[in-house]
Amino acid sequence: TCADLIAHNVVPETVQGDLLTPGAIARLFASGPVRAVVHCAGIVPTQIPWDQDPNWEARFARTMAVNVRLPIELGHAGIAHMAGNGGGRLILIGSLAGWHGGTLTTTPPDYVTSKGGLHALVRLLARKAAPGGVLVNGVAPGPVVTPFSANIDFPRENFPLGRMATAEEIAWPIAFLCTKGASNFCGEIVNVNGGVFFA
């Protein structure tokens, strides 16, 4: 995690940007050799039920652009870049919703569909990338404690551990997939949901 890097005198660098902006992905990889890429962006449109949203089509397009199109384009560029630099790791963040439709009956269908598609994308890219020394895997978290989830009433009886995950509990498996210890993981979707669902 960031705290561990700082403890070992490594200074993390933060660069902000919108990867949907034309040319942004190319600029990302032009900055120097990249060994691991983690796509952790995602949107969950929950303000209005989808069937009552007058902007449903635009909302669906935006959700798919961020949650599916961007990983396709980022993955394509990242695989080519890392294969040309001795290999690397690509980690895409899916969701429990991509397996079983969501923890709540109100989970938006555009989000569920996008994360199910992302899980399939992990496997497609894994087969393509492996011969070039790039290992592609995914992580599928369940509900995580964030400012966003604080406004959602998740039924606690659905959580065998009695609580939601912390962001750091999701970060550790992601970090592991970027290490030599995960050198035989290829096309896997690692579930990190505290026993809510078993694939």
17-50 residue pLDDT tens: 888 999 999 998 988 899 999 999 888 877 788 8
Which pLDDT does position 184 carry in this prediction? 97
Which pLDDT does position 160 carry in this prediction? 72
Is residue 1 annotated as part of the catalytic site, yes or no? no
Q: Which residues contact 116 (CB under 8 A, 6 or more apart)?
A: 97, 98, 99
Which pLDDT does position 14 carry in this prediction? 75
Residue 87 to residues 10, 46, 53, 78, 136, Cα–Cα distance (Å):
22, 38, 44, 10, 11
Q: Is residue 19 part of a domain?
A: no
- Over the stretch 134-156, which tens digit does the pLDDT of each residue have? 999 999 998 777 666 656 666 67
Q: Is residue 8 part of a domain?
A: no
Q: With contact defined as beta carbons under 8 Å apart, do 63 and 111 qualify?
A: yes
Which pLDDT does position 117 carry in this prediction? 97
Q: Cα(64)–Cα(23) distance, rounded to whole angstroms?
A: 19
Residue 152 β-bridge partners: none
Low-confidence stretches of the chain (pLDDT beneath 50): none
Q: Is residue 74 part of a domain?
A: yes
145: exposed, middle or buried (C-beta count within 10 Å: 0-12, 13-18, 19+)? Answer: middle
Per the structure, the count of domains in the chain is 1
Q: Is residue 14 part of a domain?
A: no
Q: Is residue 25 part of a domain?
A: no
Q: Is residue 18 part of a domain?
A: no
Among residues 60, 99, 111, 159, the one annotated as catalytic is 111
Which pLDDT does position 42 carry in this prediction? 84
Question: Which residue segment(s) compose the domain that 81 sits in?
Answer: 35-192
CATH of the domain at 96: 3.40.50.720
Which pLDDT does position 110 carry in this prediction? 93
Which pLDDT does position 181 carry in this prediction? 96
